[in-house]
């Protein structure tokens, strides 16, 4: 059984796409990608999971299995609150 958290969506896509394509397809959530190759100067990979909260992607066991991953996201489609520090 796969662990599910409030916004985690496990995808495990079979298709390989450039990172920029995944970012356009999933602009708001964070994406966890399995990096596979660099083709024509661009990295490509398979989508593993998405989550609004990036902490939901932390702690997954991909490193232990030798899977190279990248966490990324596209540009938000909705305005985001400004950080005031």
Comparison of pLDDT for 10 and 59, the residue scoring more: 10
Comparison of pLDDT for 16 and 80, the residue scoring more: 16
Longest dimension (CA), the chain: 42
d(CA 75, CA 24): 8
Q: pLDDT confidence of 1, banded at 50, 70, 90?
A: very low
Given this model, what pLDDT does residue 56 score?
84
Q: At 65, phi and psi to the nearest 5? A: -95, 5
Given this model, what pLDDT does residue 7 score?
86
**What's the pLDDT tens digit per position in 12-57?**
999 999 999 998 898 878 888 888 888 788 889 999 999 888 888 8
Whole-structure pTM value: 0.72
In contact, 54 and 5? CB cutoff 8 Å: no
Given this model, what pLDDT does residue 45 score?
92
């Amino acid at each position: 059984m796969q662990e599910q958290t409030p916004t985690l969506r496990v995808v495990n896509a079979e298709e390989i796409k450039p990172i920029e394509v995944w970012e356009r397809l999933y602009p708001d959530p964070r994406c966890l990608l399995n990096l596979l190759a660099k083709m024509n100067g661009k990295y490509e990979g398979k989508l593993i999971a998405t989550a609004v909260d990036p902490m939901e992607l932390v702690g997954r066991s991909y490193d232990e299995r030798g899977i190279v991953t990248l966490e990324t996201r596209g540009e938000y489609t909705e305005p985001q609150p400004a950080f005031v520090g």
